[in-house]
Amino acid sequence: MHLIGEKLEQAREILDELEMDCWLTFVRETSVTGDPMLSFLAPSDLTWHSAFLVTKSGGPIAIVGEMERKAVEELGVYRQVLSYVESINPLLQEKLQEIDPSTIAVNYSTTSEIADGLSHGMFLLLRRILEEKGMDDRLVSAEQLISRIRARKTGTEIAAISAAIRETEDIFRMVADFIAPGRTEMEIADFMSREVSHRGLVPAWDPGHCPAVFTGPDTAGAHYRPTGRVVEKGHVLNMDFGVRVDDYCSDLQRTFYILEDGQTEAPPEVQRGFSVIREAIEKSRQALRPGVKGVDVDAVARRVLVSAGYEEFPHGLGHQVGRFAHDGTALLGPGWEKYSQKPFESIEKGMVFTLEPRLTVPGRGVVTVEEMVLVGNDGAEYLSTPQEELLLIKS
């Protein structure tokens, strides 16, 4: 079955779980103002007003502009594909009256960006369309529905993510032979970017800082572009990097140590920092299972660092990965205001998370590793191949 068909069936099942009658995604000119859920509903961007209706009992319905009808129809996953030329209003009103849902879940949320694809203007327009038929008071947030659709990865999705991970790990192996004292962060990033292009792939996020490369102490540390800073002996170097395969992302970090003359291993303070990071990742992985809260898993990693004498890392332990490098609603993070209710969402089977604690080794740099795991029935298993040892770069 086409992935869109898989996700539409999931949506129907989740509507039933949540005792919701109908999910409506309402869009226009999606190349300009796209809805994050559109990739689960249509094969490409849409121009005119379009509506996708999923109910817990009947087959899904698409209402699109006449010029885009054929592309949606060819998916073979919609019970009905209706089209119009002048106005979507009559068809949308007619179908909603036929369904007669007590609630209509639409894509808005005050807490989850992934569920907030309906613009304010489109919300007002939709309400006006429904008001003509006395249905405007039935609109509710689709946040819970959307969160579960994105969280529960199908076999097709997991296969694509796994393929992206393998490509990423392979490029990390290649760049290990390229890193050397005297090379700059930008030169290292350019090497990796060329390899991504050579493989016919694209970066998992903004190519301006994918890969992100940080060497030595006093760097930006995260979410910043590579610079002209030179790799030096005795410094730690870390990279944050991922690619897309079949529209699904990887997101991994690896840490290297640049050996000084005469050294055959990293100094004790660097090795200790790396070992603490590994322990934090493994213990939090063991704590990650269906039914727990993300805030509790995050706390496991923080306890490991603090008990070892390091400061807490200034971000969440891990985020979901899917069509975006930062995907989904549930988060492995602390109960900080900026994260809203995300850390308090229950973990579900099928979620793919990163685990990415970090710490600073004074005078050396930032030690961080980012792995990807899949939540199963009873726990979480690595999708990535864990970095068990520091990657040593000879002078």
* 152-393: CATH number: 3.90.230.10
Residue ranges covered by each domain of the chain: 3-150, 152-393
pTM here? 0.95
pLDDT in tens, the chain (395 residues): 589 999 999 999 999 999 999 999 999 999 999 999 999 999 999 999 999 999 998 899 999 999 999 999 999 999 999 999 999 999 999 999 999 999 999 999 999 999 999 999 999 999 999 999 999 999 999 999 999 999 999 999 999 999 999 999 999 999 999 999 999 999 999 999 999 999 999 999 999 999 999 999 987 667 678 999 999 999 999 999 999 999 999 999 999 999 999 999 999 999 999 999 999 999 999 999 999 999 999 999 999 999 999 999 999 999 999 999 999 999 999 999 999 999 999 999 999 999 999 999 999 999 999 999 999 999 999 999 999 999 999 97
* 3-150: CATH number: 3.40.350.10
DSSP H stretches of helix in 67-154: 69-73, 89-99, 120-131, 143-151
* Helices vs strands, H then E, count in the chain: 9, 20
CA pair distance 70, 63, nearest whole angstrom: 12
The phi-psi region of residue 277 (left if phi > 0; otherwise alpha if psi is between -120 and 50; otherwise beta) is alpha
Identify whether the C-beta of residue 369 lies closer than 8 Å to the C-beta of residue 254. Answer: yes
Q: Do domains 3-150 and 152-393 have the same CATH topology?
A: no
Alpha carbon distance, N-terminus to C-terminus of the chain: 52
